[in-house]
Amino acid sequence: MENQTFEVVGACRINNAWKPYRKVIEAPNENQARERVFADIGSKHRLKRRYITIESVNVVAGE
């Protein structure tokens, strides 16, 4: 299966403040893109999933 490029927009709680983020992820589908964002942000900032919100997941056209 071919990977698509997704843009994921949301916010995460760092130091008691919600910080916005925008990530571009390659994944086979939207659900897998969401999981990769949770894994990346959670491992980098040591956050649980309840402190990471995803507002939108959009396919990036082009390439």
Provide the pLDDT for residue 46.
Answer: 95
Domains with residue ranges and CATH for the chain:
4-59 (3.10.20.10)
Burial (Cβ within 10 Å: 0-12, 13-18, ≥19) of residue 33: buried
Q: Which among 53, 58, 45 is positioned nearest to 10, based on CA atoms? A: 53
Q: Is the pLDDT of residue 20 over 70?
A: yes
Long-range interactions of 23-29: CB distance < 8 A, separation 24+: 24/60, 27/3, 28/1, 28/2, 28/3, 28/4, 29/4
pLDDT of 27-50, one tens digit each?
A: 999 999 999 999 999 999 999 999
Q: Which residue has better confidence, 62 or 47?
A: 47
